[in-house]
Structure 1
Amino acid sequence: MNLIVLGIVLLGIYVQQSVSQKVECFSSFTLSSGKCGNLLGEVEKEDCCLNPSYGFKEADGVCRSCGNATWSEWSPWGECSVSCSEGVSQRRRSCHGIGNCPDPENLGKVQTKPCVKKDCCPVEGGWSEWGKWQLCSVTCGDGIKKRRRTCSEPISQCGGSCSGAEEEITLCSTKIICPTHGGWSSWGSWGPCPVTCFYEGRIPQKEFRKRTCTNPTSSTIPRGNACEGSDTDSRPCSGLPFCPVDGNWGSWAGHTPCSVTCGVGQQTQRRICDSPKPAHGGKQCRGEEQQTGICIIPVNCPINGTWSEWGEWSNCKSPFGKNITCQNIKGQRKRLRDCGDRKYKGTPCDGEIVQHGKCYNIEGCKMKGVLSEWSEWSNCTPDCGPNSTKIREIKCVADISSYNIQDRTMFAGNPHVKCDGLKEQTERIPCKNVPECMDNNYE
């Protein structure tokens, strides 16, 4: 290979590596469904994501958000896995955007909980003996007759039923000949108009069609009824049309302004079908009245601020600086959150950065212990498979009966609780009818 050929090959490799991969850019991304909407066209990913509310698709065809990683809302709880007795229900959420979604409580993408749609399962009943045949449904010719049975030996339970038909039908004959009544055939084709045109202001001539009483022909023995109505129908002839004029497009008008002030948008051109207009049944113009193209405003779009999770509560203190530890005196505490991710003149977070709350300080207090009530059953873990279980607990907790308020969320600090002789309990049982684990549950 000579130096010239080698240079051309190296230049081709450099050009291929320097071309950025383009993406399909969309002007909307729906967090609840993870779908993109309103395709703008193919641009570089960096240009598309100048606007964090946009979405894009790469070669794999998956819709992705230009914004920071955010959880979708939890889906509604699904149907119970069985129609009767205990099963499980599941709900899901998805993480969309750039980066990883925060999950401080380790909730994951799927949650499973026990459910009971119906306490009992259906039990089928048994049929009684068939009843007597009813009379034949006609007084001449051939008809039908019926007989019935009931689901009562035994009666079904919990919404069950009997398998099979409640009613039986069979043919019957009276051995008496029925009269045949006449019926109209279908209308024939419209006859020709007696003229090829009609004059303006005059009543148009009529065209006719006929039918016959032969579908079926009425019988003579026994005598059947003839057809009712006329065997002839008419309608006005239509006039000759004017000669049609097909439409033709005029020139394209100028572009509209770009639809956005930052990032990727669209602009359009229009034309009118008026050179000439279609007339007297002429054809409309073929093609589109409007064409849309991409425009790029190379400016970052505003990114609005988003709240972080609330921080830990501060120590519970008296508003006057007095010591209120282990006393039935309300204090105050506060917690903070941050408004982050705001860029390019986006709007600040809506709401307060500081939250204040009332509290009782029991840090280090020596307190009598009492047993709590049984807790609610936990969600099923793991979310799928035969080893999924749920638990509930009875715990030794501080006795707060001497305080004015019994809401435990208002008590701050870690007391020394005397639990001698109190037996804490944990109950763990399997969740029933849990679905098998599939890889796509955790995509």
Structure 2
Amino acid sequence: MEWCKDRECPIDGVWNPWAEWGECSHTCGGGTQQRSRTCEGPYYNGAECSGSLTDTGSCNTFSCPVDGLWMSWQEWQQCNVTCGGGMQIRERVCDEPKFGGASCHGPAVEPRECNTNNCPIDGVWMTWGDWGDCTLSCGNGTQVRTRTCDGPFYGGKDCDPPADETQSCNTQPCPVDGVESKWSNWGTCSVSCGDGVNGRQRVCIGPFHGGLDCQNPLEERGTCNERPCPVDGEWGPWADWESCDVSCGGGKQNRKRTCNTPLHGGLSCIGVPIDTRTCNEDECPIDGVWSEWGMWEDCSVTCDFGLQNRYRNCTGPFFGGKECLGFNSDSQSCSRPPCPAQTKPYLVSRTCSRYLLKYDLRSMATLTNGLIGQSVTSHVGAEFHGETEHASDHIMEERIVLEPSRIPKNVICITVPLMVSLSLGLHGNHVL
């Protein structure tokens, strides 16, 4: 054996191990990451590595944290005082965090001042002051002392008069000028609230003994009851009636109204915010209902085959309900002992209930021929003149029967009104 090697054998490319996964595209909620690999070779015209240089996979598929979120603030609660400064609060609810999210930041309760207006304080008299100088140096003068009303404040009541006090002095006679008296009490205010006016008066005392007349006005006007008038709550218009809770048989429906907020100590609305009335009082429709079937009546014949009926009654309908479905009567065949031979009808089992037989009388002649005789055939032909379409109608029973083996092929049943049947005069015999 002789070895030879004129060229290197082909070596196919071989994949090196995958590198580490790269960084995920998202930190939560589902992302992707990639890794890569290199192909070692090929050599000497070997085949390239088969497959992909890169690989993609899912990462961080867990849900992202959702921080808590404050809901809207609720309405402010009622103030704890009516004046002088109080507190009221309002609250809000945190929609809880999910998947490790942060809790809501901030307070769940918010306070604020309310009714900061000062409370009314009534006036209080201070101590009387010293007596003033005498108004006259002679002739019975007067001197006055006054006192000061501490207040009122913030709408409180004024001090009850008088604010000053007068006494005589220098009573010896002398020229006396006219002197105004002290003011009368303020008169009734023109309104009970909302900026009114009132007045007070005084008189001139003197003059005496050649003194001067009074120099100052004897009437004075002032403002009063400057506080806002109370405004009572007032009902808004009624809303439309809501839908009735039933469609028939008597139900209820409501309507609502809203009270406008009273102001300045006014009264709340008097009455109810919801009004109720009856509705849809019409009786509900009741469909008709069949009674049980009655007993079967006696058979319509005393021999051979006949009919017997039974009936039922429909109770209702009421208040627009549906009529009973179906018929109020029912029929069935009945049998009695055979009739005497000379009057025996050719009655058989095939029944056409509530139908009329339509047939070719020549075929009927063939049917009866051999049973009754040639005289029947000629009698039928003479009476009905050949292919008469139908025989005379008679009020008979509901059913018409013929022997199946004797019925011609062209005998058919057609619908006609109830209680109509066919009769043929065949020498006293009847084919019904």
Give the TM-score of the pair, scaled to structure 1.
Answer: 0.19
Larger Cα-atom Rg:
2
Give the number of the structure with larger relative contact order, counting CA–CA contacts within 8 Å between residues 6 or more apart.
1
